[in-house]
């Protein structure tokens, strides 16, 4: 069982790294390896997922309400709009990562959650983010999202369960390489996180209810609150500064983090 201060720090770490393109798994492995902290447990994982999901839904609440209304009107026979099509595109883009989770989820958890894998993926997909960001500088506008683009971003997201890849990092990279500008790429990536986080949280909740383990509800509530507040602030600050600073600071950070993880592995 983790202590209260550990829960707060892990929730802050989860909230920040869930949406920044720096990989939450690469960061959450460090406290246990360097500080000897115990595993936070399934219940705490559920709590911080609830927190980060609540944050992204609240941030995009106006967009989601508009999209839902347009989608329902289109189902009732109304004309298709950009918002109603976006709902279908997000659903389509979610399917590949669901398939990977069902087919290879157990192997990824047992065979790939180790330092050399996390360090390597942190480095390689960080460099890919840098290539995509350099490409984005040369794109004057943003291409409208199409069915093919949504599917390609979804296929890129399929490798996100591998530790160190970063779900937001790989989806933003793919969107930029397909011609979206930074703001459009980040928005699609964050909206795409909603069904992914909701699905992962639902599975973890089912596992938790089936396990019959003791649940410290006060600690879980604290974790959900802290991760939610942190994630909301992270999304707002990231989108505000994105065009001004670009993505290269995250690329440099990932390279340094990968080197640190390699050093930990060799030590």
CB-based burial label for 108 (10 Å; 0-12, 13-18, 19+): middle
Distance CA 136, CA 174 (A): 11
Residues of the chain with pLDDT under 70: 1, 39, 41-42, 137-141
Q: Which residues are CB-neighbours of 262 under 8 A, at least 6 positions away?
A: 115, 116, 119
DSSP at 163: T
Q: Which residues are CB-neighbours of 252 under 8 A, at least 6 positions away?
A: none
**Prediction pTM value:** 0.92
Task: Give residue 108's pLDDT.
Answer: 85
Task: Give residue 45's pLDDT.
Answer: 79
Distance CA 239, CA 151 (A): 24
Write out 178-196 in H/E/C secondary structure.
CCCCHHHHHHHHHHHHHHH
Task: Give residue 139's pLDDT.
Answer: 63
3-state secondary structure (DSSP) of residue 44: helix
Task: Give residue 1's pLDDT.
Answer: 65
């Amino acid at each position: 069982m983790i202590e209260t201060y550990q829960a707060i720090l892990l929730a802050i770490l989860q909230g920040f790294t869930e949406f920044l393109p720096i990989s939450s798994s690469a960061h959450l492995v460090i406290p246990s390896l360097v500080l000897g902290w115990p595993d936070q447990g399934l219940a705490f994982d559920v709590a911080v997922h609830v927190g980060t999901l609540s944050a992204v839904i609240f941030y995009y609440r106006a967009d989601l309400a508009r999209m839902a209304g347009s989608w329902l009107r289109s189902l009732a026979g109304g004309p298709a709009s950009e918002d109603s099509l976006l709902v279908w595109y997000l659903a389509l883009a979610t399917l590949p990562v669901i398939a990977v989770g069902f087919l290879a989820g157990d192997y990824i958890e047992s065979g790939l959650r180790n330092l050399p894998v996390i360090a390597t993926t942190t480095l390689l997909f960080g460099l890919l983010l840098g290539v995509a960001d350099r490409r984005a500088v040369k794109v004057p506008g943003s291409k409208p999202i199409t069915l093919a683009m949504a599917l390609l971003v979804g296929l890129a997201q399929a490798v996100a369960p591998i530790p160190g890849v970063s779900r937001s990092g790989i989806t933003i990279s793919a969107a930029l390489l397909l011609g979206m500008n930074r703001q459009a790429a980040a928005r699609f990536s964050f909206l795409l996180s909603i069904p992914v986080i909701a699905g992962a949280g639902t599975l973890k909740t089912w596992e938790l209810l089936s396990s019959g383990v003791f649940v410290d509800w006060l600690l879980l509530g604290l974790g959900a609150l802290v991760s939610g507040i942190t994630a909301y602030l992270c999304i707002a600050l990231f989108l505000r500064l994105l065009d001004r600073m670009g993505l290269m600071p995250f690329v440099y950070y990932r390279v340094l983090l990968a080197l640190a993880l390699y050093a930990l592995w060799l030590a």
